[in-house]
Structure 1
Amino acid sequence: MVDPVTLAVIQAGLQQVCDEMDLTFSRAAFSPVIAEADDRSDGIYSAEDGSLIAQGSKGLPVFVGVMQFSTRTLIERIAAGVTAAPEPGDIYIVNDPYLGGTHLMDVRFAMPVWRQGRIWCWLSNTGHWPDTGGMVPGGFSASAISAEQEGLRLPPVKLFKKGVLDAEIWAIICSNIRVSDQRIGDVKAQASALMVGAERLAALLDRYGDGTVGAAVAQMRDLAARQMRAKLALIPEGRYRATAVIDSDGVVNAPLIIALAVTRAGERLVFDFSGSSLPCAGPMNSVRATTLSSVYLAVRHVFPDVPISAGAFEPLEVVGIEGTFLDAHYPRPVSGCAAEVSQRIAEAVFAALVQAIPDRVTAAPAGTSGNFGLGGTDPETGAGYVMYQISGGGYGGFAGGDGISNGCSTIGISKAPPVEIMEQKYPVLYRRYALHEGSGGAGQYRGGFGLDYEIELLRGMARASFVMDHGRVGPQGVLGGGDGAVNRVEIHRQGAPVLVPEHLSKAQDIVLQAGDRVRVRTPGGGGYGAPADRDPARVAEDLALGRYGTAEAARLWPGKP
């Protein structure tokens, strides 16, 4: 048994190791989506089964469970002789969604940490590469019907052998992705983050001893499990039902349904997705690892003070996903799983739990990452480029306050890259970048506002693709609150009518010429509580600041200024 003070210091030390890996990765990366948007995560995982020991506080929450599953799969494949056994200095690369992953653009590295001739733990990280091949620049193919159309799929292989980059494997990767000459910066950053982590972890182990740190890890897991069970006791026993709707799968223009029943019985919380839609033709399927991780991150939103550890997941059980689009198998396309489907899963969890503990759960957030890919060749430089844009949206209202405006996605802390950086790197000009005012759902506490941006292509020709959501139905309000505004995507061409994609929030291979513009208005959050109960002073403030027009306010809050 490790004494409480030493336990707290070791726990903070492990967290610091992960945070330093995160910072190293972002600061050394080439791509804006990693260097500026922080679409990455780092963690420490058990040598025995890959279970989560610690993860960076600045990493994407959706990767909390995903890297645990991918590391476990790697360990199992090594034990079975399918994947080559590790040696000191080896780093594995994998992006296969069906081996505990997300979509192909989320590329994972894993490196064993050796102590006295044996593996003490694994360090792993994930970075969103701007492109991994496939039908469209950026990988977000809205109408892919197979995994091969989405990009290069890598099983776990050694990219670094004894500390040296394998030139042959790297050549294979570069031959199958766009702007490959730019990826080496991200690869070196990703590997460097793991090496920094190994150095910092070795210092911690040297200071306290391998045995003491190992005992502390076991106590941390047990403590997290007990803390989560204590939190679950706050939920009244019973069964709570909710649904969430996905616009379409990008191929068949019909909604997909996530049906959820949450049951609190004793010390367990069971999430039953029976009755959800069948596997779909397009890329809005989700793999098992992403589905489970989406549930975990949703619960962490509700109980954020439970320490990040595999123990926190032990009281949570997910059932009923077999045979649905939430448990995709090869060759189902899955590019929308991590960025979009995961957020609909979290929305369903929120909608169920708000019935049980309304003081701890918000109305639905915007729930889309706003994936926008643009690829072409800049005639000024002759160089090819792949631009990837993510965007924020409104958070839902909650007991005691309005939702945040232009917050990051439900699944992570990723933020939109600075406009100035994007304009420097790509032949685009942002004509508009503002709040999507009026987009928050009405309520006693209204939803936050989404983002309204417009991008103009300055030079050459480019191909645009979108995989977004909430274009058909806005984020749902709760306890009498109104829904947030829907996601709106428009293509503005010179002398031509405005184009709205058939699937509203999903389209691919839209050809843009110089002077064409893309305008996106992301959703606002859902409203919380009856609009009639809103404080008149809050209504007056919204009107005075121009957040809502007078006519709209009269509709939303009748009888109040």
Structure 2
Amino acid sequence: MSSKATPPYSWTRASRPASTISGASLSPRTDLDPTTLAVLKGSLEQITDEMDSAYATAAFSPIISDALDRASGIYDGASGEVIAQGSTGLPIFIGVMQFTVQAVTSVLDLEPGDVCIVNDPFTGGTHLMDVKLVAPYHGPDGEVLFYLANTGHWPDIGGMSPGGITSTATETYQEGVRVPPMLLCRGGVVNEELIELLLANIRGKPSDRRGDLAAQLAALRLGAARLDELVNRFGVDLLRAAVGEMNQRAEALMRERIRAIPDGTYSAIDYMDNDGITDEPFAVDLDIVVSDGTMTFDFSRCREEVDGPMNCPISSTMTACLIGLKHIFPDIPVNGGCLRPLEFRVPEGSFLNPTFPKPVAACTTEAPQRIIDNIFTALADVVPNPVPAPCFSTGSLHAITGRDAEGYTFTFFASTGGGYGGSVRHDGLINGATTISVALTPGLELQEQRFPLRYRRYAIRENSEGPGVHRGGPGTEISIEFLADRGKVSVMGDRAKFGAPGAKGGGSGAPADHSLVLGGVEWRPPMGAKAENVPLRRGDILHLRTPGGGGWGPAQDRDRAAVGRDIERGYITAARAWTEYGLM
């Protein structure tokens, strides 16, 4: 360990005098009335919102600062269960970080000033690019009251393909640097040797990654300072009582919502194109068993782990189930209590619960979204809130790399939106974020300023919607020109064979359709939505056409004026209005 703690990485909470949180200075309250509970709940959530905002504001990478591919949370010091999360953080990270915190604390005893770094998918994680920090928050008596944790998507993590987009990987070793739970900071002193080791295996400017890491640590430090204020104002006992009450209420509300569903088994199935290695489809097969306030997600019929990176760690699989329910029951707060009525049957060694060292690079954007679609389909007829038809449900992750003017290897990384499914009330959203996130496409002008790229096109994809009474949202069409001399591009997605199916007689959305123009010649990836390390030269173009959402209800019954508006806005052509909607 280095004895040197450079200022950007300072973790010592120097602003926390012991007297401000000593028992003598507090006048602990014990009256947990509804108003106080609401104030404490809102305060904890506000802390995580501030952490998210601080992280994004200070981060160097556009995927974090502009696309907001990050999240922050507060977790219980005894159980590791989630207590609060930022409203703009990625939902897939919030649930997963509960499993991360629990895994970290099972192997490390974190002391004041310690910060753990981890990205291991098999230690309650997602893919390797999602770097997580976990720090303890100690109370006046030295007991760990909470854990603060955050996740940020680093644009590169090493491995055989820039950006971690390794669609042909057969082992996680090929996907990048795997970091088990390790102390990044010990007693406020940063382990510079560990940072240097990571930076030596990651593409890009070391200063950029140092900036992202400094922002991530600063967000944790801000969270700790805000918790100091909360403890000082209300006291430990009242805060603990509030957390317990929040959990109990969330559990009771979740059970109430589940009991409103008739007991029984509800099933749905969807298909992945391939695993990136063998061009054969495989099923995401789900049974949802409802019984007296408990809901079991049974994936027993899913196939064994696949050779390529379409496997999904168990932590991501379980979190996807929670996100699906949160879409259906948006009033349920996300904390440890809401998870208690949920049970999971996911056989070890299946592609939704793979064993080390199977590759998992696509685990945040592909299988989890199909799980959410299946939950929508399975429960659509038995829940009171309107449930959409399946969505575009693929990240269309793409990374472009080359040499910048300073001789560093740059890595541009982004995901792309698509169409949501129509529902009984509305047409599907256009260019929506993936259903497991709220991540955005970084600003085009910012990307063109940072990287040798030019956007030739960013538009709604015509005729890609799923026809219906309420049509699915059209997909998105993007064209990016490469402006450096030499480079490479990788793409990792799905739904190139199986477009989002419709519901109640609605039509399917168009599948993904990606291609490249290399030296003036169009080339389509053999695996559909997956390609890896394709050489680029100046002037080559990447075309991404993302899927549309499924339609709801028979298209022939769609309002004629609505069809006319779709033509005027360029969503569909007049010819499609005739063939799909019968508009003369």
Question: Same fold judged by TM-score > 0.5?
Answer: yes
Question: Matched residue of 1:463: which SS?
Answer: strand
The equivalent of 2:6 in structure 1 is: none
The C-alpha deviation readout for 1:364-398, integer Å capped at 9, x for no partner, is: 111111100111102x4433200001111111101
Question: Does the 8 Å CA contact 1:336/1:467 hold for their aligned counterparts?
Answer: yes
Question: Does the 8 Å CA contact 1:343/1:411 hold for their aligned counterparts?
Answer: yes
The equivalent of 1:82 in structure 2 is: none
The C-alpha deviation readout for 1:218-248, integer Å capped at 9, x for no partner, is: 0000000111112223323222111111111
Amino acid at match of 1:176: N
The equivalent of 1:294 in structure 2 is: 320
The equivalent of 2:366 in structure 1 is: 340
Structure 2 residue 187 is matched with structure 1 residue 166: no
Question: Does the 8 Å CA contact 2:205/2:410 hold for their aligned counterparts?
Answer: no
Question: Structure 2: where are the runs of 5+ without partners?
Answer: 1-30
Q: Which deviates the most, 165-174 or 139-148?
A: 165-174
The equivalent of 1:51 in structure 2 is: 81
Question: Matched residue of 2:164: which SS?
Answer: coil
Structure 2 residue 60 is matched with structure 1 residue 30: yes
Partners of 2:547 and 2:52 in 1: how far apart? 29
Question: Matched residue of 1:9: which SS?
Answer: helix
Deviation at 1:495, TM superposition (A): 3.4
Note the 1:238-253 alignment, pairs <5 A. 238-253=264-279
Partners of 1:358 and 1:196 in 2: how far apart? 40
The equivalent of 1:364 in structure 2 is: 390
Partners of 2:101 and 2:69 in 1: how far apart? 19
Amino acid at match of 2:481: E
Deviation at 1:180, TM superposition (A): 4.9
Change (3 A) 1:73 1:452: same
Match of 1:386 among 396, 411, 427: 411
Amino acid at match of 1:36: D
Deviation at 1:64, TM superposition (A): 2.3
Partners of 1:429 and 1:543 in 2: how far apart? 29
Amino acid at match of 1:177: I
Structure 2 residue 41 is matched with structure 1 residue 41: no
Question: Matched residue of 2:351: which SS?
Answer: coil
Partners of 1:369 and 1:185 in 2: how far apart? 26
Deviation at 1:359, TM superposition (A): 4.6
Question: Does the 8 Å CA contact 1:96/1:104 hold for their aligned counterparts?
Answer: yes
- RMSD between superposed Cα atoms in Å: 1.2
The equivalent of 2:172 in structure 1 is: 147
Partners of 2:406 and 2:181 in 1: how far apart? 36
The equivalent of 1:77 in structure 2 is: 107
The equivalent of 2:290 in structure 1 is: 264
Partners of 2:153 and 2:215 in 1: how far apart? 12
Question: Does the 8 Å CA contact 1:232/1:268 hold for their aligned counterparts?
Answer: yes
The C-alpha deviation readout for 1:260-310, integer Å capped at 9, x for no partner, is: 111222101111112112110000001110000010111101111111111
Question: Does the 8 Å CA contact 1:267/1:315 hold for their aligned counterparts?
Answer: yes
The C-alpha deviation readout for 1:461-519, integer Å capped at 9, x for no partner, is: 111111111111111211111111111111012332x1110110011010010000000
The equivalent of 1:501 in structure 2 is: 525
Question: Matched residue of 2:122: which SS?
Answer: helix
The equivalent of 2:35 in structure 1 is: 5
Amino acid at match of 2:531: A
Counting matched residue pairs gives 552
Deviation at 1:87, TM superposition (A): 2.3
The equivalent of 2:26 in structure 1 is: none
Amino acid at match of 2:194: I
Structure 2 residue 123 is matched with structure 1 residue 99: yes
The equivalent of 1:399 in structure 2 is: 424
Structure 2 residue 242 is matched with structure 1 residue 222: no
Deviation at 1:534, TM superposition (A): 1.3
The C-alpha deviation readout for 1:7-35, integer Å capped at 9, x for no partner, is: 00000000000000000000000000000
Change (3 A) 1:322 1:358: farther
The C-alpha deviation readout for 1:182-202, integer Å capped at 9, x for no partner, is: 200000000000000000111
The equivalent of 2:230 in structure 1 is: 204
The equivalent of 1:234 in structure 2 is: 260
Partners of 1:531 and 1:359 in 2: how far apart? 22
The equivalent of 1:88 in structure 2 is: 112
The equivalent of 1:550 in structure 2 is: 574
Amino acid at match of 1:439: S
Q: TM-score, normalised by structure 2?
A: 0.93
Question: Does the 8 Å CA contact 1:358/1:399 hold for their aligned counterparts?
Answer: no
Partners of 1:377 and 1:201 in 2: how far apart? 44
Match of 1:157 among 182, 196, 210: 182
Q: Which deviates the most, 537-546 or 506-515?
A: 537-546
Question: Does the 8 Å CA contact 1:64/1:297 hold for their aligned counterparts?
Answer: no
Partners of 2:174 and 2:568 in 1: how far apart? 50
Deviation at 1:526, TM superposition (A): 0.7
Amino acid at match of 2:301: G
Deviation at 1:207, TM superposition (A): 0.5
Structure 2 residue 403 is matched with structure 1 residue 377: yes
Partners of 2:462 and 2:273 in 1: how far apart? 23
Q: Which deviates the most, 323-332 or 94-103?
A: 323-332
Question: Does the 8 Å CA contact 2:116/2:135 hold for their aligned counterparts?
Answer: yes
Amino acid at match of 1:490: S
Partners of 1:34 and 1:382 in 2: how far apart? 23
Match of 1:538 among 536, 540, 562: 562
Partners of 2:500 and 2:163 in 1: how far apart? 26
The equivalent of 1:20 in structure 2 is: 50
Q: Which deviates the most, 313-322 or 25-34?
A: 313-322
The equivalent of 1:136 in structure 2 is: 161
Match of 1:513 among 533, 537, 544: 537
Aligned residues with identical type, % of pairs = 40
Deviation at 1:90, TM superposition (A): 1.2
Question: Does the 8 Å CA contact 1:49/1:75 hold for their aligned counterparts?
Answer: no
Question: Matched residue of 1:492: which SS?
Answer: strand
Question: Matched residue of 1:338: which SS?
Answer: coil
Question: Structure 1: where are the runs of 5+ without partners?
Answer: 79-84
Partners of 2:461 and 2:572 in 1: how far apart? 10
